[in-house]
Each structure stands twice: as C-alpha cells, then as structure tokens.
Amino acid sequence: MAVLFPVVPGWWMSPQPVTDVPSGTTEASTITDRLVAAADSTADRLAAAADSTVDRLAAAADSTVDRLAAVADSTAEATPRLLTRFGGWLRSEHWLPQLIRFALVGGFSNIGYFLLFMACYAEGPQLANLTGSVVSTALANELHRRLTFHASDRVGWFTAQLEGGGLALAGLAISSAALAGLDYVAPGLSDTAEAAAVIAITAAVGTLRFITLRFWVF
C-alpha cells in the first residue's frame, strides 16, 4: 500500500539558511593576498634597483669615454711638440745624434752599393764590386759632410772625399786583416761564430771611423 505525504506548495522556493564560512578559510585568503602584495612590492623594488644600476653604469661609461677622449686630445696636442723636440735633438751636434745620423748614412750607402752592384753585375762581379764601393763611399763621405757633421761650410768636397776615402780604405784593410788573423788563430769556427766575429769587427771599425771623422776630418 502506497503512503502519500502531503506536499506544501512552494516549499522549495523558501529561502535557505546561510551557512557560516569557516574562519580558517578567511585567514588563508588574507595570507595569500599579503603574499601577492609582498611579491609585487619586491618585484617593483628589484625593477627600480635594476634601472638605477643601469643608469649608474651608463653614466660611468659616459664619464670614462669622456676622460679617454680628453686624454686622446691631450696626447694629440702633445705629439707634434714631442716630434718637434725630437727632430731638433736629432739635428743637434751632440755625439749621440751624430752617431745615429752616421748609422743612417751608412745604411743608405749600403743600399746604394747593392743597387750599383746589381746594375753592373753583367759586366763582371769584380767591376760591379769596384763600382759599387767607389760610388757608395763617395756618396757616404758627402752625406757625412752635409748631414752627419754639418760641415759643408768648413770642410770642402775634395777634402772630405780624400780623407774620408782614406779612412774607408784603412777600415777595409783593418777588417780584412782582422778576419785573416781570426781564420789563422781559430780556423775551426762555425758559420755562426764567424758571422758574429764579422759583425763585431765591422762594428769596431765603424766606431773607429766615426770617432776619426768627428774629431779629425770634420
């Protein structure tokens, strides 16, 4: 047998009682909001610190560039003065500038000898050697008179060629005798040792020639 319960119309539309939210849920929401706010604040501070650091680095870089540019400008202004002073010193009558000019003239005369030797080699090596030696020696004597010792106003061309040529022949004789004596005393020298000896003898003869030209000829 079925049991029927009376149904009151509209019972489902009556307001339901509101259930209270547990206090634990409210506290969790508050903590989350605080964490989010703290994270946002930290991010803002980090961004501000990064911007400040970048600005400082940019300012330091600009300052460094300005200082380097100032140093470069100062160096560029000072370089012509240094070159002028060096040029004046190199043209002076001190023995060291004269020695430098003496070596430069010797280098140019050696280049002239090589060019003449190659130009005259077809006529034979002896003639090429004689031509190169005579012309390069005459050129060196004239350059020493004009450039090395600035003696063009007190020593004539003929005197410079006569005395300078005589010194060149004396130097050639001394170097040849020294090499012959070296071969006699130490015949078993290696190629390297003999080359070093040739350089030393040539330097010694050149030094003696410079001293003689400076104190006797010019």
Same domain assignment for residues 117 and 211: yes
For residue range 27-81, list pLDDT tens digits in order: 667 777 777 777 777 767 766 665 666 567 666 656 776 676 677 677 766 677 7
Encoded amino acid at 156, one letter: G
The per-residue pLDDT for 139 is: 92
55 with 114, same domain: the answer is no
- pLDDT category, 194, cuts 50, 70, 90? confident
Residue 168, class by beta-carbon neighbours within 10 Å (0-12 exposed, 13-18 middle, 19+ buried)? buried
Radius of gyration of the chain (CA): 49
Q: Which of the two residues, 45 and 146, has the higher pLDDT score? A: 146
Instruction: Please indicate, yes or no, whether residues 138 and 78 belong to a single structural domain of this protein.
Output: no
* Mean of all residue pLDDT scores within the chain: 79
98 domain residue, yes or no: yes
Residues 101 and 185 in one domain: yes
| Domain end position, chosen among 90, 120, 141 | 90
Mean pLDDT on 84-93 = 87
Indicate if 86 and 97 belong to the same structural domain.
no
Whether residues 80 and 169 fall in one domain? no
**How far, in Å, CA of 198 to CA of 205, rounded?**
11
CA–CA separation, 56 vs 48, rounded Å?
12
**Domain identity same for 77 and 98:** no
Same domain, 168 and 212: yes
Same domain, 152 and 196: yes
Tell whether 114 and 144 lie within a shared domain. Answer: yes
pLDDT (0 to 100) of residue 5: 45
Question: Is residue 82 scored above 90 in pLDDT?
Answer: no
What are the pLDDT digits (tens) for 156-172?
Answer: 999 999 999 999 899 88
Q: Are residues 100 and 199 in the same domain?
A: yes
Q: What is the mean pLDDT of residues 83-89?
A: 85
Instruction: Indicate the pTM of the whole model.
Output: 0.60
Domain that holds residue 176: 92-217
Do residues 148 and 101 make contact, with C-beta atoms less than 8 angstroms apart? yes
The domain total for the chain is 2
Does 4 reside within a domain? no
pLDDT of residue 3: 47
Same domain, 183 and 103: yes
Give 170-179 pLDDT, tens digit per residue. Answer: 988 888 888 8
Does any domain span residue 1?
no
